C-alpha cells in the first residue's frame, strides 16, 4: 500500500532524536565554543609602544 512505505527523508530526520541531539550539540560547540576558544588563544601579546 502507498501509506505503508517509508516516510520521506525529511520526516525520518525529524523523527530521529539521536541525530538531532548529535547535530544540536555539534553545531554550536564548533561554531561558538571551539571557534571562540581559538580566537582567544590566538590573541597576540601587547607591544605597548
| Binding residues vs other proteins (CB under 8 A) | 3, 7-8, 10-11, 13-15, 17, 20-21, 23-25, 27-29, 31-33, 35-37, 39-40, 43-49
Report the nearest approach of other proteins to the CB of residue 25 (Å): 5
We find the least distance from the C-beta atom of residue 27 to other proteins, in angstroms, to be: 5
Nearest to 37 by CA among 27, 46, 29, 25: 29
Q: Which of 18, 42, 22 is nearest to 30 (CA)?
A: 22
User: From the CB of 6, what's the least distance to other proteins, in Å?
Assistant: 9
- Where residue 48 falls (left for φ over 0; alpha for ψ -120 to 50; beta otherwise) is left
Amino acid at each position: 500500500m502507498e501509506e505503508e512505505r517509508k516516510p520521506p527523508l525529511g520526516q525520518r530526520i525529524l523523527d530521529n532524536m539521536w541525530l538531532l541531539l548529535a547535530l544540536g550539540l555539534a553545531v554550536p560547540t564548533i561554531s561558538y565554543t571551539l571557534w571562540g576558544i581559538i580566537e582567544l588563544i590566538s590573541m597576540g601579546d601587547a607591544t605597548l609602544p
